[in-house]
Amino acid sequence: MKNYIEQVNANVRLQEGPRVIEQLLIECFIKPGISTKELARKVLLPVPVATAIKKELIKAGALMQDRGVRCTYKGLSYIENELGYGGLDKALYQRLMISETDWKIELEDILSLLTKLFQLRPQVNVQIDQSKCTPETSLRRAILCLRQHALIGKKILCVGDDDLVSVSLGLLLNRLFPKKGNKKTMITVIDNDDRFLKYIRDIKEREGLFINDLHLDLRQSLPEYFYEQYDCFFTDPPYTLEGMSLFLSRGISAMKKEKGMPIFLSFAHKSPEFMLALQYELIHMSLSIKEIIVHFNEYEGAQMIGNKGQMIVLQTTESTKPNITDRFEDELYTGEVRQTIRTYHCKSCNKSILVGTQGDFPTIEALKNQGCPDCNQNNFCLIKKQRL
């Protein structure tokens, strides 16, 4: 079948990249008879540019001007079969694409299921900077992916997924395509934690989701067959510059070499100096910042970051490249980069216990799980913190 997007892109050569041509086509599919002015507003282009794209798509045979702009039979077939929109619940799609929509009510059943699944997920390992995001946050990320035109018919990569974003994406797809699902969309998870990979596989089998997974230590380079395959990726990396750079680099290596591709980076709110250093890292990778949504992510029991985190939506450019391509040998996690030793007192027997990578217990969670070595109680208070 003719690839209308490639054909029009070759003729128009948009600075925004070919994704905007696809978005324009989808808008005509979702709302037949849409005006050219509304099309321009939807895809964030000047009216003359949107008009030029429309004319090229009409010339190619995908669109026609008939009481507004609408798809031809060939255009419909292309969108449904090649782009993966066949069987879409258009009414639900339109409601979810409106930012004011109360999606918690619209997707109440999915949120209820996610709440149960999140209660049973493996315990996080704080030594590798895992944290528990809420079910609402995981589903909110999936909806953001939809609104960024990066979900339907796309190849999506989760670089680490203790937040079960892959599950939220799969459940959302099943709601959007109630009759036969959506086999055009491919979701892949790479993670170093077998517990979460197994849990995701169990959910996938029970709920009929299309999710692939691969056990991978991100300190190692990606397998060659992963390179230049994906349309977008999600990552919630360790909240260090080293962790952010490594996780982004692995995701970029897996991304298609096209400009305008979205990257969803969840990260803690940091000081201006830290954020400036982070932006320098992004510049070195030739990534542009499309949007920063503060307090987008919520976490359970993550007092160190105020239980909140930001979502940074990035875009690739023509010169985007990973900072790290080979094996990563340096410190990565917060406990490695900023090593501290903390002294806790047992509230029952007053025993002093050292917690940290060089202490008696690596984390306070490990100490609480085992209990005080002298009295087996698990109530402690922090009395001193020392930087190593």
C-alpha 257/C-alpha 318 separation (Å) is: 8
C-alpha 326/C-alpha 219 separation (Å) is: 8
Per DSSP, the residues of 43-89 read TT--HHHHHHHHHHHHHHTSEEESSSEEE-HHHHHIIIIISS-TT--
Residue 386 and residue 341 in contact, taking contact as beta carbons nearer than 8 Å: yes
| The one-letter amino acid at 279 | Q
Q: Per CATH, which fold does 4-83 belong to?
A: Arc Repressor Mutant, subunit A (1.10.10)
C-alpha 24/C-alpha 70 separation (Å) is: 11
The confidence score (pLDDT) of residue 306 equals 59
Domain boundaries, given as residue ranges, for the chain: 4-83, 93-316, 339-387
- DSSP, collapsed to helix, strand or coil, labels residue 19 as helix
Give the burial class of 246: count Cβ atoms within 10 A of its Cβ; 0-12 exposed, 13-18 middle, 19 or more buried.
buried
Residue 314 backbone dihedrals phi, psi, to 5 degrees:
-105, 165
| The one-letter amino acid at 339 | Q
Give the burial class of 48: count Cβ atoms within 10 A of its Cβ; 0-12 exposed, 13-18 middle, 19 or more buried.
exposed
Which residue is it, tokens 């025993």? 351
For 71, 142, 240, 370, 383, the CA distances from 347, given in Å and listed in that order, are 71, 43, 33, 15, 11
Q: Per CATH, which fold does 93-316 belong to?
A: Rossmann fold (3.40.50)
Per-residue pLDDT of the chain (388 residues; tens, 9 = 90+): 679 999 998 888 888 889 999 999 999 999 999 999 999 999 999 999 999 999 999 999 999 999 999 999 999 999 999 999 999 999 999 999 987 778 989 999 999 999 999 999 998 776 667 688 999 999 999 999 999 999 999 999 999 999 999 999 999 999 999 987 778 999 999 999 999 999 999 999 999 999 999 999 999 999 999 999 999 999 999 988 889 999 999 999 999 999 999 999 999 999 898 898 899 899 999 999 999 999 999 998 655 555 899 999 999 999 999 999 999 887 777 766 566 788 999 999 999 999 876 788 866 766 877 899 999 998 999 888 887 6
pTM of the model: 0.86
Quick one: DSSP state of residue 167?
Answer: H
The confidence score (pLDDT) of residue 128 equals 67
Vertex 41: Cα angle to 38 and 47 (nearest 5): 85
Which residue is it, tokens 């796309």? 154
